[in-house]
Amino acid sequence: MPAPRVIPVSASSGDYEVVVGPRLLAELGPRASRALGTLPRRVLLVADRGVPQATIDLALASLGSEGCSCAVALVNADERDKSLAAAERLLLAASAHALDRADLIVVLGGGLTGDLAGFVASTYMRGVNVIQCPTTLLAMVDASVGGKTGVNLPSPHGLLKNMAGAFHQPRLVLADLAALDSLPERQFRSGLAECLKHGLLAADFGDPGLWTWTLARLPRIREPAILAELIERNVRIKATVVGNDERELHPSAGRALLNLGHTFGHAIETLPGVTPEAPGGLAPPPKQPTPPLPAMLHGEAVAIGLHAAAVCAAACSPDAGPAAMLVQDVCAALHAAGLPAHARGLPSDDVILDRMRHDKKMLGERLRLILPVPGGRSEVRLDVPEVALRQALRAIRAKET
C-alpha cells in the first residue's frame, strides 16, 4: 500500500495534520493517542447513519484496542436535522457518557455530520477535542478541514445554512480512502464540485495548475493514486487559505473566497421541490441507497452555484470574450464531472434573491459574492447589480418540458 500523505494545517488556535491514505481507520486509536499526547478514557463516536456498520466497527475496534470506553451516537445526514435540536441530543449523549474536557469526540461521516458534531465539540464544556474522520469526498477535500462548525436555523425565509456555529479546529483529520469504496456514485460526484471550486481559485494559493490537472484526470479520478493526489492537493489549498485567514476576518480576500458558488448554492439547496438536472438533461437516478439521499446534495447545489457565479462574472465583466469562455469552461467541467449546471423546479427570481439576501455572508445591506475570473482566480464583489444576478438565475434554470 502507498504511504499515507500528510498535510500540515497551521492555525492560530492550533496546528494539526490531515492524513490521506488507505486503511487509516484501523490506525485511529494509535494516531489519536499521538495527536493528543495521550488517549482519553472516553470517546463519543458520532456517525452518519449512512456509514456502513463495518466502518463504524473498525473505528470502535481501533479505539478499544487503546483502552477507550466508546459510546456511539447516530445522526441523519439531512439539512433539516442539522439543527439545534440535534446538537442538544448529542450534547446529552456526551454528558450521559460522562465525557470531560480531556476526552474526545470522533466524527465519522460527511460534511453535515462533521459540522454538527464539530459544533457540539466546540460547545460541550466550552470545548473538547474532536477528530474528524471524513467518509465522503466532499468532507475529505473541504468540510473536515479548517474548523468551521455549525447548525442550520429555521426562518420565515427558509432554512438558514450554518447560521449558528463556531470555529473549532480538529486535533487530527484521517481521510481513509477505503471509506470511499462504499460511497454512492452520486455522492462521490458531489464532492468533485468542491474540487472544481478549489481549481477556480487555486492560482492565488500555490497551485495554479490544479484546474487543468483535475479536468485531465476526471476519466480516471477513482484510481487510487490519482484520488490520493486529488485529495492532497485540494487539502493543501484549503490549509493555505485557513492558515492565512482562519476566522474569515478579511472580507475581500482570504477565507471568504472559499464561498465561491455557495451564495447561489445555499439559496437553492433546501428549496422544496428543487432537483438537479443531470448532464445531458437527465434526471438523477431514481434508485437511492438506504437511507435515501436528499433531492439536492450540497455539492450539486455548489456545482449549480459555480455556473451561476460564472454567468454573473461574465455579466459584470468589461471584457466579454474571456468571461464568456470562462462560463463555457465551467459548464464543460461540470458536465465532465457528472455534475449539474441547472436546476429543475426553481421558484421565482424574487424568492431566490430574498433567500440570498438573508445569507450569513451579507455585509451590512450588501450582498457579498465570490466570482471567478480567468486564470484560476476568484474575487470578492460587493457591487454586483441585480440585473446580473437575475441573468445568472435565468442561466441555471433547466428547460422545463
Q: What architecture is the 5-183 domain classified under in CATH?
A: 3-Layer(aba) Sandwich (3.40)
**Residue 148 appears among annotated catalytic residues:** yes
How does pLDDT run across 333-382, given as a tens digit for each residue? 999 999 999 999 999 999 999 999 887 666 667 899 999 999 999 999 99
Residue tagged active-site, from 79, 248, 269, 277: 248
What residues contact 130, with CB distance under 8 A and at least 6 apart? 104, 105, 106, 107, 117, 118, 121, 122, 168, 170, 171
**Residue 255 appears among annotated catalytic residues:** yes
Residue tagged active-site, from 262, 344, 355, 381: 262
**pLDDT over threshold 90, residue 73:** yes
Which pLDDT score is estimated for 389? 97
**Residue 198 appears among annotated catalytic residues:** no
Residue tagged active-site, from 17, 194, 246, 300: 194
**Residue 335 appears among annotated catalytic residues:** no
**pLDDT over threshold 80, residue 292:** no
CATH top-level class for 202-395? mainly alpha
**Residue 126 appears among annotated catalytic residues:** yes
Which residues of the chain form CATH 3.40.50.1970? 5-183
Q: What CA–CA distance (Å, rounded) separates 8 from 11? A: 10
**Residue 161 appears among annotated catalytic residues:** no
Q: 285: pLDDT confidence band, cut at 50, 70 and 90?
A: low
pTM for this structure? 0.94
Per-chain mean pLDDT for the chain: 93
Strand 69-75 and strand 342-344: pairing? Answer: unpaired
Which residues of the chain form CATH 1.20.1090.10? 202-395
What is the torsion angle, in degrees rounded to the nearest 10, for the CA atoms of residue 64, residue 7, residue 203 and residue 249? 70
**Residue 244 appears among annotated catalytic residues:** no
